[in-house]
Structure 1
Amino acid sequence: MTPVRTAELRLRVAAKRTIAEGVVALDLVAADGADLPPWAPGAHIDLRCGEHIRQYSLCGDPADRRYRVAVRRDDPGRGGSRFVHDTLAEGDEIVGGGPRNNFPLVEAKRYLFIAGGIGITPLLPMMAAARRGGVEFRLAYGGRDRASMPFLDALPGQVSVHPQDEVGLLDLDALVGEPEVGTAVYCCGPEPLLRAIEDRAAGWRDATLHVERFSPREGALEGAAGPDEGFEVELASTGEVLAVPAERSLLAVLGDAGVPVLSSCEEGTCGTCETGVLAGEIDHRDSLLTPDEQAANDVMFPCVSRARSPRLVLDL
């Protein structure tokens, strides 16, 4: 993989509206009226929500001149969604970044999309792309109840809706027990849903699974190298060597040294701090890279990942 650096965006809220219980949609345009950077299905943008930076999936039309995101209110969270719901208003300007795509739509003979609640957002442009390309797809969409499930009136193609208060939880054994040959399965939603699907996918032979998370994968932050230990990193551009003690993150050490690495979630889910690695063995603790991508050993997320070797050489 090649790390992608994105520019800061100055955005204006062109429209804000409630689209489901606890969910608002924002239409964002460039504050200076210029064209926004292009994007593809699966992409997200960063938004500076007060003191926090949060990532939201783009759920509009890539051909449109505006970005559309949907934000569910999360009162127990760290405050980003409350800022969007309670403070941000139409006409306000907001700083963003991106777009960045850690969840791209691959070519396939057919698609199975599985959404849990607000996880429907990245799947909407994917389904639209599949329909334009004449590719067979179906969607299974679960949620607490219909009132809380956004975009119910904008779902294309073969759709099965599963409000929990009416029909119970999604029947994952029926959905993904053994997908058809050539099927790409895309899933986004709460961690229990993703974990349950990943467990079932372990026995698949001829299907591929793609997931996007809002929180770290269970056990990811524990790492593969056991207890945290100190290590060194060498900056390829200058040869400078930095010591990373056991109790500090690589991202924090880079920041103290004045090395510019953009970051956001600091839990290995957003991809903002992706950094190239030229030598050394990485202890991957992110929830983004596939096993094959981790095995390639060429990028890491310094907010959470560490080293399994005494030294890493970073492409910085």
Structure 2
Amino acid sequence: MPTTISKSYHIPVMLDEVIQGIRIVPTGKYVDLTFGGGGHAKKIVDMLSTGHLFAFDRDADTAEIACSFPSHYLTFTRAPFRFAKEFLYFYGAGQVNGLLADLGVSSHQIDTPERGFSTRFDGILDMRMDIHSPRTAQTIINRYNVTQLAEVLHYYGEIANALSVAKAIIKARTHRPIETTGQLKDLVVPFAPKSKENQYVSKIFQAFRIEVNNELAELESLLNQSAQIIKPGGRMAIISYHSLEDRLVKNFLNTGNILGQIQQDGYGNILRPFSPLQKKPLIPSEKELSQNKRARSARLRIGIRVE
């Protein structure tokens, strides 16, 4: 069966850099924790001989794409990647040679108005990566109290005037429920710095999306179990799209924990399961950005499992 890749679903970001970074061995075992449209997965599978790729994604729309891959090369699981270790144990995979996670929202999700991810379309305030999850952005915006809303906006959107926006949301929803992305956008634009309305609204949407999908907790769970998933000498490649994600990955690779607190042995060696391949993250090339503007905020960090 020929493998079908959905370019409309999501263009794989920094594809060559990722593949080079995790150093594909044809007989190796790999994990793609964010399968999406299968772009990264297709490249990995094409390089395998007797190896295997275990792929995960919580978006039900990805399952059909995964079905086009040959089953002797790919095992697909529709589940959040915090369950990766358990599923790999269930499959008898043992430790793998490499792991990939592209943490961004896919083009498919952004361009589907009813998913509620985009600031460009008016749609229902959903923002769920897994449409079967019970909590939507609409639920949070209409049920959280002012303190909870302010905390979400402050910590996940890094909004300076978070309390003012939270109070405005509370006031607006007393008159009518806030149900659409257009309503939310119209409500928060007056609080934006002059000439930075688009960036400001994007951060508001980012904050609620992170809360809906529990994204930072998911990433923390992945990082904490990664040393058990990847064999010594293996590699982990993570693409992040905002400073909150990148900070967690950077801290973990540099110090072995997400807080960035260095612990050393008696000889002064840093106690960490991975060593960073590079000091600074890799960023998309100008050529890639000319073909895919949505990659502009991507940051790729690669860690090597300590022997």
The TM-score with structure 2 as length reference comes to 0.35
The structure where strand makes up a greater share of residues is: 1
The TM-score with structure 1 as length reference comes to 0.34
The structure where helix makes up a greater share of residues is: 2
Higher RCO (C-alpha 8 Å, min separation 6): 2
